[in-house]
Chains A and B, each alone.
Chain A
């Protein structure tokens, strides 16, 4: 089954920085409220499409905390087997996110 997360619709059109303590709509908040619960609910063969478009823009810390954080917790390969990204507005973001999935927290 294919599940979808649209960050602008399901979370915020104005995502913020890394931690909840930084302010509104942080990466940590998105991770805890939306991304991780949805990810761990996926069953074998399920797929999660994450649409990055229609937001005001992203900070590196938001992307690192969310997708980098998921890869650090569950393994990059496992995450990439289940998650696909969509970005028509900023396609380069997908490679950027994958780079955050490598190694330690940025």
Chain B
């Protein structure tokens, strides 16, 4: 081997080793100040499908983008890869939408899929998420540990109505509002209707029955919020099947059909004997001031009793989402 060739080989080796050294130093620099678990998380993230949450992650304030995100996330249910929920840029998030996200996370974890996540940089959004207890339900890993007390109870069940669980939730909610644990029979009745509706009408596939109830206590502000979610087929689809195509022409669109169902007037509008006291019972609790700020999303229809707006949206949503509150001005 002549000298020229030898020098060239040495130069290539030296260049290669220099590059490796730079890469090593860069990686060392990046992981500087990070714990082993944080470095481990970085590795997990780089090997995951990243889903970035909308900065306003709220069904009420950013309906379309939020539902599109949820739908996109649901599409990944069959993937074999780990999912990374990038929440860093989330600036606004509320307990109802957290519960909605949790309902999807549950579908992943039920199938043995791993979910990891990062926390929002925005302190208010991060606090809301931490207080919600959401991170307790992630089976993968989250950025940094959470050492805060939760003001949110997340109750979830498979396949059945659980009156004992909701009786406790009602009692705790009453304590936040009135200062003492006590019963609220109307609220308990409402929860049983929600659970029964969900498991009897929401899921044609018996194995997938599941509901989630998220309760957030805002003691300082004097109210308790509830979000009840099922990822079933939605009320509209159930109504369509029961009423049949011909009679559906009686209604002026989907929101009219839904509003009629919640008023308990399907029978009188269609002439059918219509079994369905559950939905009117729910709406009656709002009309009689037992609950406040009722907001319902089912399929692609929103019934917003807060602003009295009822409308269709351009994106589909499979399932039903209820949000409502109780406060000291309600008939308790």
Which residues of A approach B to under 8 Å, CB–CB? 12-18, 22-26, 55-62, 64, 89-90, 104-106
Which residues of B approach A to under 8 Å, CB–CB? 159-164, 166-167, 170, 183-189, 192-193, 195-196, 199-200, 273, 275-278, 281
Residues of chain B within 8 A (CB-CB) of A61 are: 192-193, 196, 277-278
Least CB distance, B242 to chain A, in whole angstroms: 14
Residues of chain A within 8 A (CB-CB) of B193 are: 17, 59-61
A59→B196 contact, CB < 8 A? yes
Least CB distance, B211 to chain A, in whole angstroms: 11
B277→A17 contact, CB < 8 A? no
Residues of chain A within 8 A (CB-CB) of B200 are: 17-18, 22
**Docked complex Cα distance between A69 and B164 (Å):** 24
- Among the listed B185, B273, B281, which residue makes an inter-chain contact with A90, where contact means beta carbons less than 8 Å apart? B185
A64→B185 contact, CB < 8 A? no
Q: A61-B277, A61-B278, A106-B277 are in contact. Are A16 and B185 (CB under 8 A)?
A: no
B160→A22 contact, CB < 8 A? yes
A60→B160 contact, CB < 8 A? no
A64→B188 contact, CB < 8 A? no
**Docked complex Cα distance between A51 and B199 (Å):** 29
**CB-nearest residue of chain A to B160:** A23
**Docked complex Cα distance between A105 and B278 (Å):** 13
B185→A55 contact, CB < 8 A? yes
Q: A58-B189, A59-B192, A60-B193 are in contact. Are A23 and B162 (CB under 8 A)?
A: yes
B161→A24 contact, CB < 8 A? yes
**CB-nearest residue of chain B to A54:** B183
Least CB distance, B173 to chain A, in whole angstroms: 12
A64→B192 contact, CB < 8 A? no
- Among the listed B163, B183, B184, B188, which residue makes an inter-chain contact with A23, where contact means beta carbons less than 8 Å apart? B163
**CB-nearest residue of chain A to B162:** A23
**CB-nearest residue of chain A to B161:** A23
Residues of chain B within 8 A (CB-CB) of A17 are: 161, 163, 192-193, 195-196, 200
User: Which of A14, A15, A24, A59 has the most CB atoms of chain B within a 10 A radius of its CB?
Assistant: A59
Given A55-B185, A56-B163, A57-B188; 13 other pairs, CB 8 A cutoff: A14-B167, A17-B192, A17-B193, A17-B200, A22-B160, A22-B196, A23-B199, A56-B170, A56-B183, A57-B167, A58-B188, A59-B278, A89-B185
**CB-nearest residue of chain B to A89:** B185
Least CB distance, B86 to chain A, in whole angstroms: 38
**Docked complex Cα distance between A26 and B275 (Å):** 18
**CB-nearest residue of chain B to A52:** B185
User: Which of B192, B200, B275, B277 has the most CB atoms of chain A within a 10 A radius of its CB?
Assistant: B192
A59→B189 contact, CB < 8 A? yes
A64→B164 contact, CB < 8 A? no
A60→B277 contact, CB < 8 A? yes
- Among the listed B159, B162, B184, B277, which residue makes an inter-chain contact with A57, where contact means beta carbons less than 8 Å apart? B184
**CB-nearest residue of chain B to A13:** B167
Residues of chain B within 8 A (CB-CB) of A14 are: 163-164, 167, 188
Least CB distance, B261 to chain A, in whole angstroms: 14
Least CB distance, A69 to chain B, in whole angstroms: 13
- Among the listed B167, B189, B192, B273, which residue makes an inter-chain contact with A104, where contact means beta carbons less than 8 Å apart? B273
Residues of chain B within 8 A (CB-CB) of A25 are: 163
B277→A58 contact, CB < 8 A? no
User: Which of B162, B187, B189, B281 has the most CB atoms of chain A within a 10 A radius of its CB?
Assistant: B189
Residues of chain B within 8 A (CB-CB) of A55 are: 185
Q: A62-B192, A89-B185 are in contact. Are A105 and B275 (CB under 8 A)?
A: yes
